[in-house]
Amino acid sequence: MTATIFVLLFAVLIFGLSTLLWSGFGLARVISEPSLKRQRQDLVAGLDYPDTSQVAVLIAAHNEELVIGKTLDSVCAMLPPEQVFVASDGSTDRTAAMVRSYGANVLELNPNRGKAGALAAAVEHFGLDTAFEVVMLLDADTQLAENYFETGLPQFADPEVVAVAGRAKSLLDPAPRSLIGKLLVAYRERLYQVVQVLMKYGQAMPKANVVNIVPGFASMYRARVLPEIDVAAKGLTIEDFNMTFEVHAKKLGRIAFHPSAAVAYTQDPDNLRDYTKQVRRWTLGYWQTIKRHGLHWGKFWIVQALFVMELVTSSLMLLLVVPALLLNLGVTFAIEMLGGVSQTMYQLAGVLPPWAVLLGVVLPDLLLTLFAALMTRRASYLLMFPFFPFLRIVDAWLCMGSLARALGKSSSGVWVSPARRALNEEPIQS
């Protein structure tokens, strides 16, 4: 009984109670709620919502000539190019020229001011907050599913909804160029499945409304709320966490999300250098946003306080896994080869025995991988699962390092795009 309680406690500390709670709510919604088509029919019955003629697509781009063409192809298949606006932020390649060749609008900015600064400048320059009902924020490496607007715009039929969070999926064509690349992209897709299909869907329940990020890769805002959001807040490395926190802090309305609505495909890093840079940037942006806003009274802020505590706890626990296992291995070796160790070393080695790691970390992690493999119909993920716990440790290291950095100096927001893979010609199928 004691061993069982220890393993359960260890697993909860690793994964976080609030994460398990919201994932449970999300799973309950997936199982119990009707299909998205039926939900849309019920939602829009007798209600009005913006159509595609009332949508502006806003892209901030920095040296994205390898990928922005496919992004524009996916958008212009659904909207006229006159409704597409690109802020070319300090680009030194053919990004701006490619945008113009599509007939889309482009604002060239120099010097590089960062994604948030580019977005804010374009909203003001083109008057997007008054000229359109909805402004979609889209990354230059992202391709929209063919039914993105068909599924996403009806969410605005609820007048309380001021933002629709996009649903991210990994762009798997072209395939990653190496084995480590395949592993990293599979790991990221697993994260998308678990966080979005389960956790975020639970947080987006109308009575909860505690979604903590409207991702800037492919999400929509009611244009009228943009002037109330400090898009280019100083000292932040990314904008989407801050924009979401602004919605909650200023009580602007509800954030909608459905795992089958507003789907878009993004090109995830396929090398360790770009992967670590991206994760460090994301986690730093979260910690900087927490530092900027602080914590207040209310559902959203209580959820964030619990999440912060659990994020720190789980990261520290994960970082202790490898040293504890090495200590245990060393003590076992010393007992076998030297005949014994000190009582202190023996007790320390017993704090985190290998069986506890297997049951408290590896086994629950395998369940996450199994869920992702079932959702994506990719059995190959099961072959990669032994490596995923190590990547979680890498994430924990980056998370704690970003926390230390966030407590120190602020960021300029200036960005450098990761290495891109040239895209194939075939369109994305929904």
Series of mean pLDDT values for 10-residue runs along the chain (430 residues): 57 74 88 73 71 96 91 96 96 94 95 91 96 96 94 94 95 82 94 91 93 95 96 90 96 95 92 94 95 90 92 89 76 64 61 70 88 91 93 95 87 60 52
H or E element in which residue 119 lies: helix 115-126
Please state the pTM of the whole predicted model.
Answer: 0.88
Contact 206, 33 (CB under 8 A): no
Structural tokens at position 325: 């296992």
Residue 367 parent element (H or E): helix 363-376
Q: Output the pLDDT for position 328.
A: 73
CB proximity list for 82: less than 8 A, separation 6 or greater: 103, 104, 105
Tell the burial category of 214 from Cβ atoms under 10 Å away from its Cβ (0-12, 13-18, 19+): buried
Q: Can you tell me the distance from the alpha carbon of 212 to that of 19, in angstroms, rounded to the nearest whole number? A: 12
Contacts of 181 (CB under 8 A, 6+ apart): 270, 271
CATH class of segment(s) 20-297: alpha beta
Lookup: tokens for 372: 């992702």
Report pLDDT for 296: 86
In the chain, the N- to C-terminal Cα span, in Å, equals: 48
The residues that bridge with 134 in the sheet, in sequence order, are 55, 222
User: What is the CB-side half-sphere exposure of residue 166 using CA atoms within 13 A?
Assistant: 27
Please report, for the chain, the start and end positions of each structural domain, with discontinuous segments joined by +. Answer: 8-13+305-406, 20-297
In the three-class reduction of DSSP (H, G, I as helix; E, B as strand; rest coil), residue 296 is classed as: coil
The amino acid sitting at 233 is A
Return the pLDDT at 40: 62
pLDDT at residue 1, as a whole number = 47
What is the pLDDT at residue 427? 47
Q: What is the pLDDT of residue 351?
A: 59
Nearest partner of 163 among 105, 212, 232, 235, judged by Cα = 212
